[in-house]
């Protein structure tokens, strides 16, 4: 099960993921990121505190937008990943390609100071 | 100990697959991170078969057998769809995935990084993929 919530705060959007992302629902994550990118925001935060599991289908969604973020100069930061989920990003070295922070505070700091 | 699951080829069944493997792995006392890695690797292979070899046909199924041995865990995934030779498959470079904005291709890379050994065989009736994880002796 996956539920996704998108909210606006200051100049950024927060996409909160709740549950498990796999091949059955990664398209939902894809649609939300696409929607976020279609607006005018230059700052996107992903709240991963309640993300329990992610498979390559979910990782692939993030990876497929990295070029768009770069081209559109959108700052993209993920925060709050639990150890299991963080490990999956780490296995592929994706933690080197995507900005990942421990807390929301650190993530926001990184969005606004950059 | 051997455990078996008949998994119908629907993506919505992947959660059921994860619960099954998690249950089987309880007695191994592997860390939560290691258990998650094994669940992930098996799911990646099964998701691949469900989507690419069986076109998500809910009447098709694959068999997962888990052998828990003292020194290793063997995950045997058997199906009769289009043979997909995981050993011959060449995973893409991460940089190419980013450049080409690809959403797929990372799954089997994860499997290779997580498992110690991968075997594949086909006899034109069944395809068998074996994922082997060695357990560290204490």
A1, A2, A20, A23: best to mutate for the B interface, most B CBs within 10 A: A23
* Contact predicate B14/B24, CB 8 Å: no
Question: How many structural domains is chain A composed of?
Answer: 1
Residue A114 pLDDT greater than 80, yes or no: no
* Contact predicate A92/B106, CB 8 Å: yes
ipTM entry: 0.94
Section A76-94 average pLDDT: 97
User: Does the distance separating the beta carbons of A64 and B113 come in below 8 Å?
Assistant: no
Report pLDDT for B86.
Answer: 86
Q: What is the DSSP code (8-state) at residue B88?
A: T
**CA atoms within a 13 Å half-sphere pointing along the CA-CB vector of A24:** 20
Report pLDDT for A77.
Answer: 98
pLDDT tens for A10-20 read: 899 999 999 99
What domains are there in chain B, each with its CATH number?
A: 2-134 (3.30.565.10)
Report pLDDT for B136.
Answer: 81
Least trusted range by pLDDT, from A105-114, B38-47, B59-68, B123-132: A105-114
| B44 vs A contacts (CB less than 8 Å) | 55-56
As a whole number of angstroms, the distance between CA A23 and CA A56 comes to: 8
Residue A25 pLDDT greater than 90, yes or no: yes
**Beta pairing partners, A43:** A75
Residue B63 pLDDT greater than 80, yes or no: yes
Residue B9 pLDDT greater than 60, yes or no: yes
Flag whether residue B6 sits within 8 Å of chain A, measured between CB atoms: no
Question: Is B130 strand, coil or helix?
Answer: strand
Tokens of B115: 């498992």
Give the burial string for B67-87 (b: 16+ CB within 10 Å, else e). Answer: eeeeeebbbbbbbbbeebebe
Residue A31's pLDDT band, with cuts at 50, 70 and 90, is very high
CATH number at residue A15: 3.30.750.24
Report pLDDT for B137.
Answer: 61
As a whole number of angstroms, the distance between CA B1 and CA B109 comes to: 28
Q: What is the mean pLDDT of chain B?
A: 94
Flag whether residue A30 sits within 8 Å of chain B, measured between CB atoms: yes
Residue B138 pLDDT greater than 80, yes or no: no
pLDDT tens for B66-108 read: 999 999 999 999 999 888 888 888 888 888 888 988 888 899 9
Flag whether residue B106 sits within 8 Å of chain A, measured between CB atoms: yes
Q: What is the DSSP code (8-state) at residue A72?
A: T
Q: How many CB pairs under 8 A join A and B?
A: 86
Neighbours of A93 (CB within 10 A): 10
Q: Which domain holds residue A95?
A: 2-113
CA max distance for chain A: 37
Q: Measured between CB atoms, which of A1, A91, A97 is closest to B110?
A: A91
Section B117-121 average pLDDT: 96
B12, B13, B14: best to mutate for the A interface, most A CBs within 10 A: B14
Q: Measured between CB atoms, which of A61, A87, A92 is closest to B109?
A: A92
B18, B19, B36, B111: best to mutate for the A interface, most A CBs within 10 A: B36
For A106, phi then psi, to 5°, come to: -60, -40
What pTM did the predictor assign?
A: 0.95
* Contact predicate B87/B98, CB 8 Å: no
* Contact predicate A41/A12, CB 8 Å: yes
**CA atoms within a 13 Å half-sphere pointing along the CA-CB vector of A12:** 20
Neighbours of A84 (CB within 10 A): 20
User: Does the distance separating the beta carbons of A1 and B103 come in below 8 Å?
Assistant: no
């Amino acid at each position: 099960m996956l539920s996704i919530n998108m909210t606006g705060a200051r100049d950024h959007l927060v996409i909160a993921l709740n549950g498990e992302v796999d091949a059955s629902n990664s398209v939902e994550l894809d649609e939300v990121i696409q929607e976020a990118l279609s607006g005018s925001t230059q700052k996107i935060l992903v709240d991963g505190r309640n993300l329990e599991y992610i498979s390559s289908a979910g990782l692939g969604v993030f990876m497929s937008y990295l070029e768009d973020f770069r081209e559109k100069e959108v700052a993209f930061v993920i925060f709050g990943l639990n150890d299991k989920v963080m490990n999956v990003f780490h296995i592929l070295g994706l933690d080197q390609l995507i900005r990942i922070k421990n807390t929301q505070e650190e993530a926001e700091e990184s969005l606004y100071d950059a | 100990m051997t455990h078996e699951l008949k998994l119908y080829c629907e993506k919505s069944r992947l959660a059921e697959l994860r619960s099954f493997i998690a249950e089987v792995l309880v007695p191994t006392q592997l860390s939560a991170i290691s258990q998650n890695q094994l669940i992930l690797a098996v799911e990646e292979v099964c998701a691949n078969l469900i989507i690419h070899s069986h076109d998500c046909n809910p009447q098709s199924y694959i068999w997962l057998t888990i052998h828990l041995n003292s020194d290793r865990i063997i995950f045997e995934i058997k199906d009769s769809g289009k043979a997909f030779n995981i050993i011959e498959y060449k995973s893409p470079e991460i940089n190419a995935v980013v450049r080409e904005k690809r959403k797929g291709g990372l799954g089997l890379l994860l499997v290779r990084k997580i498992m110690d050994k991968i075997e594949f065989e086909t006899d034109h009736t069944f395809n068998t993929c074996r994922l082997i994880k060695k357990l560290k002796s204490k």
